[in-house]
Amino acid sequence: MQQEVVLAMLAKEPSQGYQLRARLDEALGPLGESINAGQIYVTLGRLEKAGLVVREGAPTDRSDRSDRKVYELTPAGQARVTEWLSEVNWPKPDLAEFHLKLVAAAAAGLADPISIIDLQRRELLRLLRDVQREAMNEQEASDSGLLLEGIVLRLQADLRFLEACERAWTDRRRHL
Amino acid sequence: MNAPMNQSDGELERAPVREPYRAGEEPLVRARRLSKRYGKGDGLVRAVDEVDLEVAAGEAVAVMGPSGCGKSTLLHLLGGLDRPSDGELWLGDRRIDQLSERKLAEMRRHDVGFVFQAFHLMDELTAQENVELPALLAGRSPRQARRRARALLEEVGLADRARHLPCALSGGQRQRVAIARALANEPRLVLADEPTGNLDSTATLEVLRLFERLHARGLTLVIVTHDERIAATADRLVSMRDGAFVDEMPLVGGTRGRLADLVGLGG
Amino acid sequence: MGRARLVCRLAAKDLRHHRAEAALLLLAIVAATATLTVGLALHGVTSNPYAATRADTKGPDVVAVEMARPGGPSQLTALEHARGVTGYSGPYLLAFPTSLEADGHSDPVMAEGRATAAAPVDQPKLVSGRWVGHGGVVVERSLADLLGLKVGESVRLGNDGTYGTPAGPGSMRRFEVVGIAVTAALQPSSVATYMHPTGFPEPGLVWVTRSAAAELARVDGGPFAYTLNLKLADAAAAPAFVTAHETNVVSLTSWQSMSARAGYIVSVEREILLTASWLLGLLALASVALLVGGRMEQRTRRVGLLKAVGATPKLVTSVLLGEQLALALAAAALGLVIGWLASPLFTNPGASLVGAPGSPALDVSTIAIVIAAAVAIALVATFVPAIRAARRSTVRALADAPRQPRRGRLSIAVSSRLPVPLLLGMRIASRRRRRALLSATSIAITVGALVAVLMFREQTHFVETAGGLYRFGGPGDPLWERAATVMLVFTVALVALALVNAIFVTWATVQDARHAMALDRALGSSPEQVTLAVVAAQLLSALPGAFAGVPMGIALYIVAGRHTPSAPSPLSLVAVVLLTLVAVAALTAIPARIGARQSVAEVLRAETA
Ligand SMILES: Nc1ncnc2c1ncn2[C@@H]1O[C@H](COP(=O)(O)OP(=O)(O)OP(=O)(O)O)[C@@H](O)[C@H]1O
Ligand SMILES: [Mg+2]
């Protein structure tokens, strides 16, 4: 879980931990299940140490239960959020690794590239199937639905890449 | 599996809901060394070449492969629209590759529903009349046919479009009408040939949802497709090349825990 | 040069690709042009046979007859030099009634004694053989046709006792038929009436030598007559001449009244011929309209296709034109030959009419008209789609499936209550109303003609001739039989054309409903059901056609026959209607079955391509 995400979630208003959690759940839908509550508090703790958030409320508050604590951005935290929003970064698919795996397998004669491709394809198709199931359960036009749609499209692109690999490697084998 | 089961119509609910597919069950479709050849000599085309296939009741099978590899031909054979040159074919416990034209027609009428890429609706009939047609051909009374058609159109979400002609419907809507028509006689097997080949992604999703629901209800499906999304809804994926099966992969079995990785939410 | 080759190649390819259709269109145009040829030939025959014969035989302006005793006419010779007469032939002895016996049959004839030399007035024109000589007889053509006499056959002339006077031994003499001829000189009604009070309206005529005529007149014991043929300075004044010179001994006939009488005799056949050729023409037109109409739709799409791959409209039009012209000209040539070969079949009875000038020949104008008609068909079949496709954008021309079928709301609703073949049939029929209408018309014409023929055969008619009210009808009456033969020939042609039409329509329907039929089968109708459906679709349009044909036929009979008939027997009407429907069903079953047997997978595959 990226610190910036938690930080940005606080930008709207000071919130308690469970409120943050609910906001994430709404945005992520079924994918939110993979985030456990502890993770959020660990992250908040780190942010507090870094001086990006402060805990609000009187120290006289006897109950020290973390989920009742209200967190708030410090000015430094605000600055970090602004900076993060303006950053241009996009998750890069790591296709080079897979590609090199095929080349190496073929060169060394250790494995059949086609079967590697098939294995990968099967895996991606299963993923696609699951994501699709989830996507179809979502309400139309929900935030999390959009995310799932994104995954589906990504997987489709990967599958097409695998198809291209398969064609290329089949041709190559034929010409040998 | 938490697929939606929000059936909307009474009549459909009364229809027997079949058990979802379980491996090792008695197959509904069974093909042994099924072949279809065109031409002879130098012009010989092995459109389908000694294919073995078993589809269990309630199973959804997707067939993928490059253009011209024989997918449509295979589907036509399975549905009795075409006769194999060789091989054996069973539907349930009945061998159908040797049936007379009339028996084949009866089989198509009662046991098989077709969905085509080009929709193949009758232009001069409204959505409702198109869906009624198979029921009328099967000898149902006009009233029964009408009731059934209404229920099916409701099911595919087109109740308000029942009186429109196909030319007044969008591609996705037309395909949903075609699917409703394929279901008119409660077939045991639905064969779909690139059902989303002519549709954009939104329309594809409409059709996809529909297939998912049918599958969840226990309908046996064989879908030929170029679209991985459609293929991914199946229980099993068959890859074809030059008329033969080159790969079969089961798609059932969860990978759920790893979904988070895909969006960078992992640990 | 290269362009011309390209045009030819494209045209040839297209024709080869749509072979069955091209063949059908060819057939339809052949039928139409053949009909046209026959019609034109007939028109030449029946339009003015008398005038033609009159010109060919130096026909008399006035014929004078005197009843006389042996020894010669008393008053006739005076006419030879009457005012206004510029030429004459005769007087010739007329022996009647003389029996002519051939093949054991005996018929009453008049035998005219003639010189062996050619006469300046009324020299009968030989159709075959030679002119009279010793022991030879020349037979008037209608009589020869009637009795089936040919040159070289032998007959017996004389008195066989049929006409009151007892026959003595040797009163029949053997003659050889040496020639067959036509004449424009008709004997005055007094003679004709005397001979046949109720029978054949014109007595048969033969020519023999003078001496033979005298001998025949002697043995038959009947009255003598002499006949004199006159040529006047002013042919138009013939009726006045007749009035001026008629006495109770000499009766005269002007050529005008002879022409009118000849007209009466031909009128029956003429009416049949004309009516029938109109009906045939209509039917042929219907089939051409059907086929060209269907083809034009397809053409429109093809024009779009060619345009899409970059052909200029001019090239596209030349390809189409080349194709259609080739078809039309081939069809016209075939049609001309068939029509020419077939026309004697129709015109032989016509040519044997009194005064008919001979078999029709194909003249230049007939050929020109037939070719022009075929070319016109080709032009329409080319330019309508060319213009239509040019007007539409390429995309639309391409996208346009052949004419959108109609949606018959009522028939869809009604048909859903019917058994499957009728359900499908009704829907197929309601898709193309124009076509259904055309096929109904075709059936109506056929049934109408059949009903008219039936009534003709069933009823006795009275035809008013110069000789009085003539009872026309029933087998045995030669004129009636002749008319019946003409009708039969035409009816056969008509029925053949109608049946071809039925096949066209079915074929067009099968082509057009290919997709729907394949789909119906994919949805589970059996080939038998689909075949029955197509047949039912044809019957659905044939049924009203057949029913409409009955009153049409009665009306046709009344109009063409110019008199009010008694009602035809209902039994035969029912039989005609039923037989027609059965024939339609049987014929359409063949193309329907072929259509219903096509592989569903292939049709559906082709539809997506
Ligand atoms: N009537 C025919 N005669 C000859 N060959 C044919 C005929 N019909 C189909 N084929 C051939 O059979 C092969 C399989 O055709 P089929 O339509 O089943 O392919 P497909 O996998 O469905 O292709 P696509 O994905 O493009 O629809 C093709 O090579 C095709 O050319
Ligand atoms: Mg295909």
Domains and CATH numbers, chain B: 27-262 (3.40.50.300)
Give strand pairing partners of C99.
C108, C158
pLDDT tens-digit series, residues C403-454: 556 677 777 888 888 888 888 888 888 877 777 888 888 889 888 888 888 8
A151 to B263: CB separation less than 8 angstroms, yes or no: yes
User: Percentage of chain C surpassing pLDDT 70?
Assistant: 74
Out of B72, B108, B145, name the one closest to residue C524 (CB): B108
B228 to A159: CB separation less than 8 angstroms, yes or no: yes
Out of B79, B123, B142, name the one closest to residue C416 (CB): B142
Q: What is the pLDDT of residue C168?
A: 66
**Cα distances (angstroms) measured from residue C356 to each of A111, C131, C250, C543:** 102, 19, 28, 42
Confidence at C354, pLDDT banded by 50, 70, 90? very low
CA–CA dist C300, C397 (Å, integer): 6
Q: What is the pLDDT of residue C387?
A: 74
B137 to C524: CB separation less than 8 angstroms, yes or no: yes
CATH class of A3-86: mainly alpha
**Cα distances (angstroms) measured from residue C288 to each of C338, C377, C508, C546:** 17, 8, 12, 21
Please report residues of C whose CB lies closer than 8 A to that of B72: 601, 605
Confidence at C352, pLDDT banded by 50, 70, 90? very low
B232 to A132: CB separation less than 8 angstroms, yes or no: yes
CA closest to C608 among chain B residues: B118
Q: What is the pLDDT of residue C45?
A: 54
Please give the backbone phi and psi of residue C106, each rounded to the nearest 5 degrees, phi first: -120, 130
Low-confidence spans in chain A with pLDDT less than 70: 1, 57-68, 140-141, 176
Two structure tokens written together for C215:
């001998």
pLDDT at C478 > cutoff 70:
no
Distance B172 CA to ligand 2 centre (A): 19
Confidence at C133, pLDDT banded by 50, 70, 90? confident
Mean pLDDT value across residues C56-65: 85
Average confidence score pLDDT of chain C: 76
Measure B235 CA to nearest chain A CA, in Å.
Answer: 9
Task: Name the pTM for this structure.
Answer: 0.69
Q: What is the pLDDT of residue B14?
A: 36
Two structure tokens written together for C430:
């309601």
pLDDT at C63 > cutoff 70:
yes
**Residue B125 Cα to chain centre, angstroms:** 22
Query: Which protein residue's CA is at the shortest distance from atom 17 of ligand 1?
Result: B72
- Judged by average pLDDT, the poorest of A4-18, C145-159, C312-326, C470-484 is C470-484
> CA nearest A112: which of A33, A43, A176?
A176
Q: Output the CA torsion sign for C573, C577, C578, C580.
A: positive
CA–CA dist C516, C432 (Å, integer): 13
Atom of ligand 1 nearest to the CA of C599: 1
pLDDT tens-digit series, residues C233-292: 888 888 888 888 888 778 888 888 777 666 655 556 666 666 776 777 777 777 777 766
CB under 8 Å to C95, separation ≥6 — which residues?
C110, C111, C112, C113, C213, C214, C216, C217, C220, C222, C224
Is 0.90 exceeded by the ipTM? no
Q: Which of the 8 DSSP states describes residue B66? A: -
CA closest to B113 among chain C residues: C523
pLDDT at C299 > cutoff 70:
no
CA–CA dist C530, C549 (Å, integer): 28
Confidence at C468, pLDDT banded by 50, 70, 90? very low
Query: CB of C509 within 8 A of CB of C435?
Result: yes
pLDDT digits (tens), chain B, 267 positions: 343 434 343 333 333 333 444 555 678 999 999 999 998 888 899 999 999 999 999 999 999 988 889 999 999 999 988 889 999 999 988 999 988 888 988 999 899 999 988 888 888 889 999 999 999 888 889 999 999 999 999 988 899 999 998 888 988 899 999 999 999 999 999 999 989 888 887 788 888 888 888 888 889 999 999 888 888 889 899 989 889 998 888 887 655 556 666 666 654
Domain ranges of chain C: 85-232, 406-609
Mean pLDDT value across residues C572-600: 88
| Residue A38 touches chain B, beta carbons under 8 Å | no
**Residue C581 Cα to chain centre, angstroms:** 25
Please give the backbone phi and psi of residue B250, each rounded to the nearest 5 degrees, phi first: -70, 140
Query: Which protein residue's CA is at the shortest distance from atom 14 of ligand 1?
Result: B70
Two structure tokens written together for C364:
């230049």
**Cα distances (angstroms) measured from residue C188 to each of C67, C202, C258:** 11, 10, 8
